[in-house]
Amino acid sequence: MKNCIVAMVLTMMASLTAHAEDMRKYLNDTQTLVRDGKHEEALERFIWFHDHALEHQPSMYGVRLSFALSYWKQLGDVYPPALTALKTTRDYKTDLFVQNKGNRNLFHDVMALNRTLGQDIKTVDLFRTLDKDQADLAKECWDVAKDAVIKEKAYDLARKYIGNPIREWGKVKQMYEMKKAMYGGKNFGEHFKAYNENNFVEESLKLIEVALALDDAEAAHEIKSKASAIIDDNRLNDAMPEERRKDAQQAEFTVPSKAAPSASSDVR
């Protein structure tokens, strides 16, 4: 019986892997159609992938909202109907929230579509609507909306949902350390290390920016100091220019003490 269950699990895993390979191949084949100038067929396939890829392989979640959308947008740059379809998809999904049919995964879709279209402000606008009319859902979606909110400098929302920047930075540090523990494993080599360190610095910089915008220079300084102690990065060193100017001015106006005359000095 046990062997039977193991065999079933292995068969299921093999099937899922095959589906993943099929979805990757599907996306690659679609890109080939784009290069061959078969734009209408490629568009149909991008739409299908966006709507159905997760039914075949849930692990394509990230690819679906990143590479696949960027490929679709690239097609839209040379084939206007593809850009229209991308915007129509975004507008349709956004409207579902107005009908109270939204959820966190749908918000993630809308955020990714807006990001791909270079319209992060629309993510902020949608989040404001949720904050006003669907507070519980807004809380669920905050981690997805956060980057757009900070990028568009909607600091009133940041103040409400981040609260204490130092406490929020603690989560960034925890995530960094969790990923750091994976170094050296299969598929977690130097590229993963570089990604993790860069992500840590960028997330720290965002919280420094928010803290300064909320007039909490003390929190900004603490985040900068703690982050710099973990990773020495020039971006962190330059994160608080006002602080650097004060240090420079202090150094400039510090008068060096005069050395005492040596015992061998002639007394006149």
Q: Which of 184-193, 194-203, 229-238 has the least mean pLDDT?
A: 184-193
Which pLDDT score, from 0 to 100, does residue 163 have?
86
pLDDT at 15 over 70: no
In this prediction the pTM is 0.79
pLDDT at 261 over 90: no
Give the 3-state secondary structure of the chain.
CHHHHHHHHHHHHHHHHHHHHHHHHHHHHHHHHHHCCCHHHHHHHHHHHHHHHHHHCHHHHHHHHCHHHHHHHHHHHHCHHHHHHHHHHHHHHHHHHHCCCCCHHHHHHHHHHHHHHCCHHHHHHHHHHHHHHCHHHHHHHHHHHHHHHHHCCCHHHHHHHHCCHHHHHHHHHHHHHHHHCCCCCCCCCHHHHHHHHHHHHHHHHHHHHHHHHCCCHHHHHHHHHHHHHHCCCHHHHCCCHHHHHHHHHHHHCCCCCCCCCCCCCCCC
Task: Report residue 73's pLDDT band, with 50, 70 and 90 as the boundaries.
Answer: very high
Q: What pLDDT, in 10s, does the model give residues 19-71?
A: 456 899 999 999 999 999 999 999 999 999 999 999 999 999 999 999 999 99
Q: Which of 4-18, 26-40, 144-158 has the least mean pLDDT?
A: 4-18
Domain ranges (residues) in the chain: 164-244
Which pLDDT score, from 0 to 100, does residue 186 have?
84
What average pLDDT score do residues 205-233 get? Answer: 96
Task: Report residue 16's pLDDT band, with 50, 70 and 90 as the boundaries.
Answer: very low
